[in-house]
Amino acid sequence: MIRVIQKGGYRVAVHDPINADGSDAANVLELCAAAARNGSGDAVDLAIVRSAVEARGAVPFAQGSWSGPSPERKYAVAELRRLPDNRELRVARGDLDGVLTLAGASEARRSEARHAVAALRSEGYVPVGVATSAADGRWRFEGIVPVRVTRTRPALRDAPYDFRYVHVWDWQLRVLHWSWAILLALLAITGLMISEAWFLGGGNLTHGFAFGWIRLVHYVSGWLLVAVLLLRAAGLFFGTTRYERWNALTPLSFRSLRDAFVTAKNYLLFQSWKSPSYIGHNPLQQWSYTGVLLLLVGMVVTGFAMYAMYEPRNWFFQWFMPLNDWIGNANVRLLHTVGMWILLLFVPAHIYLSVLSANVDRSGTISSMVDGGRWLRRGIKFVDEE
């Protein structure tokens, strides 16, 4: 049976003891608990004591003197008195090899103990050896209590209320962000309808204008996307915060490239909280959003190139006709379609990572795109605030 205790940011798992010959497993746990220093607030001590109490109902020992471990002696020694019969004994608890040496264990006993804890070591458990000495002064190896300690991430409601507010995104950028979301949805849906035309099967194929309306929505959305891109380009130079200007979307320093690699690795390993902290976009996000902006520009160019085929002599569309001449209109359409599918793959990844960052890292990523700011815990070092 494994008992788990959480204390002070740590999660301590106490495994069932591995008893030596002639030793009772529950007694090994009691002795290990009794050897904890009186009044100790250590998470491991508390977990072992609580496990012993849950197993037997009480730890029937009174502690006298207690001597802690040292660099030379990696185990603690406690003077104890058993309450039912007032029998005095000493208990050593700590490093398994040190306790085995104290008890004069043979090489066969050492090999047996190491073999017994080998599988548990692979799961992160550390073996705590326990030995006792009675009136004759001879030490006897009693057994092992495997313990595993991991750090916990406290819930936000349990954290101290020590935050500061930082304004990150101005209202113009937030409007452009949600405009992108709406326009890209309209363009993707109508683009698929135009390329497949499956929806026409249920309508009037002779006098209906459904296809025309779909194309109109697509074209109008495309022109609106051009306007949004131009406004975002202006924001790269005139944004009201440093986190939305052009230098926040071009991370070219060695540190930024390294942080982008580390962040990508932690995302893949589901350890995003280990990544360097940024108030604005981290380098991986910066590269991703820069790539998306360039992809949108490419979508606009290929879209205008296809649209130019209707009136190639128009002064505006003459700027885009050379693309059709260079690679052919069929390849232009192919590039436009491939770009759409890349965007469709980006959207769920973007939503997933935003939710992950907001809920696991407690970064306020989603809420900041609504109200423009983030509540940041004091004491955290942010790279882009240096």
pLDDT in tens, the chain (386 residues): 667 777 667 788 888 888 876 667 888 888 888 888 888 888 888 888 888 888 777 778 888 888 888 888 889 998 888 887 888 889 999 999 998 998 888 888 888 888 888 888 878 899 999 999 986 788 989 889 999 988 776 555 555 556 788 888 888 989 999 999 999 999 999 998 888 766 666 555 565 677 888 889 999 999 999 999 999 999 888 888 888 888 888 888 888 888 889 988 888 887 777 788 888 888 888 888 889 999 999 999 999 999 998 888 888 888 999 999 899 989 999 999 999 999 999 999 888 878 877 776 666 777 888 888 888 777 777 888 76
Indicate the Cα dihedral angle 296, 358, 285, 222, nearest 10°: 10
Q: Which of 115, 130, 152 is the last residue of a domain?
A: 152
CATH of the domain at 21: 3.40.1110.10
Same-domain check for residues 16 and 81: yes
Beta bridge partners of 146: 127
Say yes or no: 227 and 327 in one domain. Answer: yes
Amino acid at 127: P
Q: Please, which residues have CB within 8 angstroms of residue 377's CB and are 6 or more apart in sequence? A: 159, 162, 163, 362
Tell me the residue range of the domain where 205 lies.
159-385
208 and 148 in a common domain = no
Q: Is 106 exposed, middle or buried (0-12, 13-18, 19+ CB in 10 A)?
A: exposed
Cβ(334)–Cβ(303) below 8 Å = no
Q: Residue 188 maps to which CATH number?
A: 1.20.950.20
Q: Where are the beta strands (DSSP E) in the chain?
A: 3-7, 10-14, 18-19, 61-67, 75-82, 88-95, 126-133, 139-151, 163-167, 373-377
If asked whether residues 95 and 25 sit together in one domain, one would say yes
Please tell me whether residues 144 and 170 are part of one structural domain: no
Kindly state whether residues 118 and 200 are assigned to the same domain: no
Using DSSP bridges, classify how beta strands 126-133 and 163-167 pair: parallel, antiparallel or unpaired: unpaired
177 and 53 in a single domain? The answer is no
3-state helix vs strand vs coil in the chain, percent to 5: 55, 15, 30
In a shared domain, residues 144 and 168:
no
Query: Domain boundary at 152, 169, 185, which?
Result: 152
Total of domains in the chain: 2
Residue with tokens 């306007």: 227
One domain for residues 195 and 46: no
Boundary residue ending a domain (152, 179, 196): 152
Residues 249 and 103 in one domain: no
pTM of the model: 0.55
